[in-house]
Amino acid sequence: MPLTTTGDLVTRAAAARSAVAAFNVITLEHIEAVIAGAESVNAPVVLQVSENAVKFRYGRLHPLARAAVTAAERATVPVALHLDHVKSDALLRQAPDAGFGSVMYDAAGLPYAENLAATRAAADWAHARGLWIEAELGQIGGKDGRPPLDAHAPGARTDPDQARAFVADSGVDALAVAIGTSHAMTSRTAAIDRTLLERLSAALDVPLVLHGSSGLPDPELAAAVAGGITKVNVGTALNIAMTRAIRKYLAAHPEAVDSRSYLTVGRDAMTRTVAALIRALGPAPAGSP
């Protein structure tokens, strides 16, 4: 079916008090697995390409983006394409031509005033071209190999009052909030700050996004959605599933040299992970097929 937009999927999810899952993809196998997993549970999904994934692909956005668009257009469920954790203005400006309907502009590592100014400029540029834009306030941590922040470190949590002002002054369409998760977690041991999420949900009139969701067990994912999260980002969980499956296959088949044999196993493992995580979020948003 035709490519949809993240904004449309998130709007539907917010209206239904549910959430849409967004998965970071690196290879064609990731793309295929995400779509197959979403189709298996009849749910919409967002394919995300991060700036780090673009760097891995020799700095070229379009080859992976074109593959994602082609796969999305042949899916039986709504699929959106989102450019994730963009710090480079040059990369941001490639988004519309590459088929992206939304971007996450990441200036969260800057001091507040600089974050706001950069995000405001990015939002103005994105909106002029019909792009939905997400930003981040508070430091979720764990990105680019950095350790997660201590729960009590300055900036480790999103302040509701500051978030309200940031959204109003920046003009973003959604906000990723720091409520206890961390990027790149390989164990599902994190817990969300439910009281803080309740305060953020009450303070903000834009959809809330949860990054670092791979570290949450199923009950915490469900609690996040019940508390007002409407977009749930997942990346590391797919890489864990793929790597474990391939490692196990190659240990059992040391003679294997055809990459299709172990990539099939890895793709299937990611497909199962996608389906399980979408189910953990609860019912699909209203308007899903």
Residue with tokens 């977690």: 185
Q: What is the DSSP letter of 285?
A: P
| Residue in this structure with the two tokens 């673009």, named with its chain if needed | 54
Number of alpha helices (DSSP H) and beta strands (DSSP E) in the chain: 12, 8
Pair 223, 192: CB distance under 8 Å: yes
Cα radius of gyration (the chain): 18
Choose among 160, 163, 55, 145: nearest CA to 108: 163
Q: Looking at 8, 84, 106, 173, which residue is catalytic?
A: 84
Q: Token match 């904004």: residue? A: 7
Q: Does 150 participate in catalysis according to the annotation?
A: no
Q: How many CA atoms lie within 13 A of 177 on its CB side?
A: 33
Q: Which residues are catalytic?
A: 84
